[in-house]
Amino acid sequence: MSSQEDTREIQALELLPAGARVGSYVIDHPLAAGGFGVVYQASQVESRAQAALKILHAELAKDAEVLARFEREVAVLRRIRHPHVIEVLDHGRLDDGRSWLAMPLLRGVSLREHLASRGCLSVEEACAILAPLCGAVAAAHAEGVFHRDIKPSNVFLDEAGALAPGSPRVVLLDFGVAKLLGGDGPGLTTSRQMIGSLCCMAPEQILGRPVDGRADVYALGILAYELLTGRPPFDTRSPVALYQLHLYAAPPPLTLTAPVSAALNAAVLRALSKEPEARPPTPQAFLAEILDATRQPRGTTEGLALGVHVEARLAEGAPPDEPGEEAMADLEAIVPAARAALEPLGLRVALSTGSGALLAQPCAGEPVAAAGARRRALDAVIALARGIEGRAGRSPWVEVRICVHIAEARIGGGGTVEGGPITRLAWVPEAAAAGPLASDAALAGVDLPAQQIGEVGGIVWLDLGSTEPRRRASA
| Rg, Å, the chain Cα set | 27
Q: Residue 104: in which H helix or E strand, if any?
A: strand 99-104
Task: Provide the pLDDT for residue 240.
Answer: 86
Q: What is the mean pLDDT of each run of 10 residues along the chain (475 residues)?
A: 45 78 95 83 93 87 77 80 89 88 92 91 92 93 86 91 75 73 41 60 89 94 95 87 88 86 91 94 95 76 91 74 72 89 90 79 77 91 92 85 92 78 86 80 89 88 71 38
| Number of helices followed by number of strands (H, E) in the chain | 12, 19
Structural domains of the chain in order of their starting residue, each with its CATH number: 4-104 (3.30.200.20), 108-294 (1.10.510.10), 301-463 (3.30.70.1230)
Write phi, then psi, for 458 (nearest 5 degrees): 85, 5
Q: Quick check: is 6 catalytic?
A: no
From 149, 158, 216, 440, the catalytic residue: 149
Residues with Cβ within 8 Å of 205's Cβ and at least 6 positions away in sequence, in order, are 148, 194, 195, 196, 211, 215
Would you state the pLDDT for residue 13?
Answer: 59
Beta-carbon-side half-sphere exposure of residue 260 (alpha carbons within 13 Å) = 33
For position 177, what pLDDT does the model report? 60
pTM > 0.75: yes or no: no
